[in-house]
Chain A
Amino acid sequence: QLQLQQSGPGLVKPSETLSLTCTVSGGSISSDSHYWAWIRQPPGKGLEYIGSIHYSGSTYYNPSLKSRVTISVDASKNQFSLKVTSVTAADTAVYYCGRDGITTKFDYWGQGTLVTVSS
């Protein structure tokens, strides 16, 4: 059974960089048929797509976040990561990693990480 385990700090200071990692177990991240995604949800609000990456390095990003976001993959560790620079309080959210079956089919999700931006 595929599992996605998220790790990273739950508190980030304004103007600093948010960094999260998602470790995939029970399967390989080097799948031609899947992308690996980050999605976030501000408290009390809906889901927002951040971006996706293929093990080959191909990426897609939400245009509204693209200038501040980098998603990378380390196939040797079966991990992919998210970095968001210059964070503000508006970046406070629960961040989820997920597997994207290309046709917008997010079938496996991480447990979610609440990241609070505060000094």
Chain B
Amino acid sequence: QSVLTQPPSVSAAPGQKVTISCSGSSSNIANNFVSWYQQFPGTAPKLLIYDNNKRPSGIPDRFSGSKSGTSATLGITGLQTGDEADYYCATWDRLSGGFVVFGGGTKLTVL
């Protein structure tokens, strides 16, 4: 059971837009930055979004992040078949001295 709640799966057609939610609480998302990761099978996760809505160099602006209260959202526009992957959110949780928590992950299928 993950501290952050994500939908197990989402799907959309190529060219469409999809959003992935990440729900937390006052001890984590509400008071800390959120980051998002993309992971393809057999590879290490890749940073997509950090500090809620910033994109590292090389990440296309089709990927966006937002946060409101105890929830965060990853948005992907202009879906491509190459976006089909697992997506994870992460943030800091101040309980028990502080540690990083991840969402359970969301499998994106591009139909």
A contact set with B: CB distance below 8 Å = 37, 46-49, 51-52, 60-63, 96, 100-101, 103-107, 109-112
Contact = CB atoms under 8 A, between A and B. Distances in A.
Interface in B70-111: 88, 90-92, 95-105
Contacts of A96: 44-45
Interface in B1-51: 2, 32-35, 37, 43-47, 50-51
A106 B97 contact: no
B56 interface: yes
Interface of B: 2, 32-35, 37, 43-47, 50-51, 56, 88, 90-92, 95-105
B96 A104 contact: no
B44 A47 contact: no
Contacts of A62: 99-100
A96 B37 CA distance: 14
Nearest to B104: A46
Nearest to B35: A104
